């Protein structure tokens, strides 16, 4: 059984180190360009520093290099990849197939989820094209993942937590269609999080000012064992733009979940070294979330949408029992404190909230400032959420975790003085000398205790002492000498660990194999001549330019999604949908999404249980 890898996001070097400290086996980070998150770029020097930090724990650093490239960017991209390889990066996450036509260093390539990895045919093709790993589409069920695993041998990575793109990744052109901000170029304007109206062909508003394309966040914590059995070995947390609290909290949460799975004795092993001690209790609902869904992993996922707000709702606290003397009385005990923030749905598409001024007993909550609670805003039965936990936020601002590599030390006499040696949990060894004679100890027990105390002071290092064996005769040695000996050993062991680190290496590029289709439209995302060359070498006869190069005409599908507005509103005849005071079902005919001057047609493919958003054809 391969190692199980917990993969966490790194907005920058600080966040990456925090992810490693909280148990990540690997982190992914964006470079200064081409990283699909324009607001999360990092210098090569910072990435190199993160590599050096992570590699001490045998943790890996992957660089997200997953934007589409234009022709004038190919050479700068190649030079940057060379620099990243020299910096110690373990793999590149890419979308643009043109990179496989370049002369790159032997750095492993991972197929980004942006390459639309939904079928066994696609994943097999990517494997045969030289990718070391494929990052699966988020929409896949366990059954679909098993089918891919049966048909391939490539490493499989799957998202397990975080924000969801409503469209199949790499196939969303809505932001580019609206304002020229391409998701495939790292500049998505997130129109899926906007409030939209749903109208019929006559312009009658069927659903007003709702976030009809906004989804809840993914949480697959209870399915990790199922994913392993389906063939997944890397478990990815979304969030390169999220806060440091989020990175610490969610990484810690999944570290504990994976460790519990590994302890089941099912021959699972961890992909990196060290034991993490947490100084808080990780709880996903305490940091940014829009509510949770497993998102089709188990088949039907129930409610997946977040129509009321694209913002974080936090954790459910209780339902409104009554409003009494300008206090909010909840139906159950809670731990709200002054300074906490609470929120609640005011109306469809609206979210309202306030900070807590004081709490009487364990139920009555008084708002801060001059806010007056209106019964119309908070009718009985309304669910109230805490979206800012002041106590938790203060806790997360401090030291929240410590990761240590276990080692055994031996202190003994040497012909030149004294020797301190060690072997760590990965069987990496180090040995240093202290060239002094030492004075015979007047009190052997006191001398022995002093040696144990000074040599065991590993507090600020990445190591922790399992046992210390003292084989020398009782001698007195100054604390300064013992401290220097310990520091030299730690430095030596850190260097030896970096030397012993087994960096991933890509093999020779395989001979091109035929692609399984002869014609490709704009959704192949071929934005440069090398990506076109890649597909032509593999038997593709016709390749349309990428949307970013030549936007297609009217009627273009700018989004295809497993989310269905009909199902969420309870209008699907095949599924019950979610009843939330659903509007009357429209008569047969096309539906449209409108936001200001923007208008798109909604098309339903019920056979595949998919929905498309298309640009308008004149006259429609």
What superfamily would CATH give domain 5-164+216-272+280-286? Answer: Copper homeostasis (CutC) domain (3.20.20.380)
CATH number at 313-396: 2.40.10
**Token reading at 273:** 């070294």
Mean pLDDT of 201-206: 93
Mean pLDDT of 125-149: 98
Mean pLDDT of 592-609: 95
Domain limits, the chain: 5-164+216-272+280-286, 313-396, 401-500
User: Would you state the pLDDT for residue 265?
Assistant: 76
367 in Cβ contact with 357 (< 8 Å): yes
pLDDT exceeding 70 applies to what percent of the chain? 96
3-state SS assignment for residue 431: strand
Mean pLDDT of 70-90: 97
- Tell whether the model's pLDDT for residue 587 goes beyond 70: no
Mean pLDDT of 141-167: 98
User: Would you state the pLDDT for residue 361?
Assistant: 75
pTM of the prediction?
A: 0.95
485/478 Cα distance (integer angstroms)? 11
- Tell whether the model's pLDDT for residue 574 goes beyond 80: no
Q: How far is CA 596 from CA 178, 209, 393, in A?
A: 11, 11, 37
Mean pLDDT of 425-442: 92
Which residues, in sequence order, are CB contacts of 617 under 8 Å at separation 6+?
554, 555, 601
Closest CA to 433 of 449, 421, 442: 421
Q: Strand 217-219 to strand 292-293: parallel, antiparallel, or no bridges (unpaired)?
A: parallel
- Tell whether the model's pLDDT for residue 619 goes beyond 70: no
- 585 confidence band (pLDDT: 50, 70, 90): low
- Tell whether the model's pLDDT for residue 511 goes beyond 70: yes
Please count the helices (runs of H) and the strands (runs of E) in the chain.
Answer: 13, 31
What percent helix, strand, coil does the chain show, rounded to 5? 25, 30, 45
Query: Using one digit for the tens of pLDDT, what is the confidence trace for 259-273?
Result: 999 998 778 999 999
Mean pLDDT of 176-181: 94
46 in Cβ contact with 12 (< 8 Å): yes
**Token reading at 456:** 């065991």
Q: Among 10-14, 191-195, 576-580, 587-591, which stretch is predicted with the lowest mean pLDDT?
A: 576-580
Same CATH fold, 313-396 and 5-164+216-272+280-286? Answer: no
Mean pLDDT of 162-173: 97
**Token reading at 395:** 């806790």
Q: Other CB atoms closer than 10 Å to residue 72's CB: what's the count?
A: 8
Q: Other CB atoms closer than 10 Å to residue 108's CB: what's the count?
A: 21
Q: Which ranges in 406-476 belong to alpha helices (H)?
A: 444-455
Mean pLDDT of 445-465: 95
- Tell whether the model's pLDDT for residue 20 goes beyond 80: yes
- Tell whether the model's pLDDT for residue 581 goes beyond 60: no
- Tell whether the model's pLDDT for residue 178 goes beyond 50: yes
User: Would you state the pLDDT for residue 266?
Assistant: 74
Mean pLDDT of 26-48: 90
Mean pLDDT of 520-526: 97
The rounded mean pLDDT for the chain is 93
- Tell whether the model's pLDDT for residue 79 goes beyond 60: yes
Q: Which ranges in 220-349 belong to alpha helices (H)?
A: 224-230, 244-262
Q: How far is CA 480 from CA 120, 454, 485, 493, in A?
A: 63, 9, 9, 20
3-state SS assignment for residue 108: coil
- Tell whether the model's pLDDT for residue 579 goes beyond 50: no
- Tell whether the model's pLDDT for residue 576 goes beyond 50: no
User: Rg of the chain's alpha carbons, rounded to an integer?
Assistant: 28
- Tell whether the model's pLDDT for residue 172 goes beyond 50: yes
Query: Using one digit for the tens of pLDDT, what is the confidence trace for 297-344?
Result: 988 767 999 999 999 999 999 999 999 888 899 999 899 999 999 999
């Amino acid at each position: 059984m391969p190692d199980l890898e917990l993969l966490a996001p790194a907005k920058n070097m600080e966040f990456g180190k925090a992810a490693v400290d909280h148990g990540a086996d690997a982190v992914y980070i964006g470079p200064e360009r081409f990283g699909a998150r324009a607001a999360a770029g990092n210098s090569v020097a910072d990435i190199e520093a993160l590599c050096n930090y992570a590699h001490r724990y045998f943790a890996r650093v992957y660089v997200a290099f997953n934007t589409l490239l234009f022709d004038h960017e190919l050479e700068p991209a190649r030079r940057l990849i060379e620099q990243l390889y020299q910096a110690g990066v373990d793999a590149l996450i890419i979308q643009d197939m043109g990179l496989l036509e370049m002369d790159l260093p032997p750095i492993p390539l991972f197929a980004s989820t942006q390459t639309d990895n939904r079928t066994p045919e696609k994943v097999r093709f990517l494997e045969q094209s030289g990718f070391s790993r494929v990052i699966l589409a988020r929409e896949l069920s366990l059954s679909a993942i098993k089918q891919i695993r049966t048909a391939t041998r490539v490493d499989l990575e799957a998202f397990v937590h975080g924000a969801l793109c409503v469209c199949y990744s790499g196939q969303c052109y809505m932001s580019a269609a609206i304002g020229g901000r391409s998701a495939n170029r790292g500049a998505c304007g997130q129109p899926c999080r906007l409030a939209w109206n749903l109208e019929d062909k006559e312009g009658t508003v069927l659903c007003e000012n709702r976030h009809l394309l906004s989804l809840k966040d993914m949480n697959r914590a209870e399915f990790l064992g199922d994913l392993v059995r389906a063939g997944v070995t890397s478990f990815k947390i979304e969030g390169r733009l999220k806060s440091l609290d989020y990175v610490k909290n969610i990484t810690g949460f999944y570290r504990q979940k994976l460790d519990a799975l590994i302890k089941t004795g099912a021959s699972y092993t961890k992909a990196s070294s060290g034991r993490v001690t947490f100084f808080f209790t990780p709880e996903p609902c305490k940091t940014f979330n829009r509510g949770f869904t497993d998102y089709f992993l188990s088949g039907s996922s129930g409610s997946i949408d977040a129509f009321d707000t694209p913002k974080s709702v936090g954790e459910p606290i209780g339902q409104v029992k009554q409003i009494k003397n300008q206090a909010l009385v909840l139906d159950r005990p809670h731990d709200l404190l002054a300074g906490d923030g609470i929120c609640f749905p005011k109306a469809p598409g609206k979210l309202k909230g306030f900070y807590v001024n004081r709490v009487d007993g364990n139920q009555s909550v008084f708002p801060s400032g001059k806010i007056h609670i209106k019964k119309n805003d908070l009718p009985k039965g309304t669910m109230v959420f805490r979206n800012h936990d002041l106590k938790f936020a203060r806790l997360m601002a401090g030291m929240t975790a410590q990761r240590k590599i276990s080692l055994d030390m031996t202190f003994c006499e040497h012909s030149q003085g004294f020797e301190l040696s060690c072997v760590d949990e990965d069987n990496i060894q180090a040995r240093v000398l202290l060239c002094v004679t030492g004075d015979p100890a007047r009190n052997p027990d006191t001398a022995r205790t002093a040696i144990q105390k000074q040599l065991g002071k590993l507090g600020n290092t990445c190591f922790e002492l399992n046992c210390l064996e003292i084989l020398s005769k009782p001698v007195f040695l100054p604390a300064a000498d013992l401290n220097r000996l310990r520091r030299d050993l730690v430095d030596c062991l850190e260097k030896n660990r970096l030397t012993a680190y087994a960096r991933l290496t890509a093999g020779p590029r395989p001979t091109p194999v035929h692609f399984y289709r002869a014609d490709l439209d704009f959704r192949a995302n071929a934005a440069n001549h090398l990506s076109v060359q890649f597909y032509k070498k593999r038997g593709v006869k016709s390749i349309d330019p990428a949307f970013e190069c030549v936007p297609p005409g009217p009627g273009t599908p700018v989004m295809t999604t497993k989310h269905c507005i009909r199902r969420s509103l309870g209008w699907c005849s095949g599924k019950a949908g979610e009843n939330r005071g659903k509007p009357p079902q429209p008569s047969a005919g096309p539906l449209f999404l409108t936001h200001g001057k923007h208008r798109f047609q909604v098309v339903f493919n019920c056979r595949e249980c998919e929905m498309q958003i298309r640009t308008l054809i004149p006259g429609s």
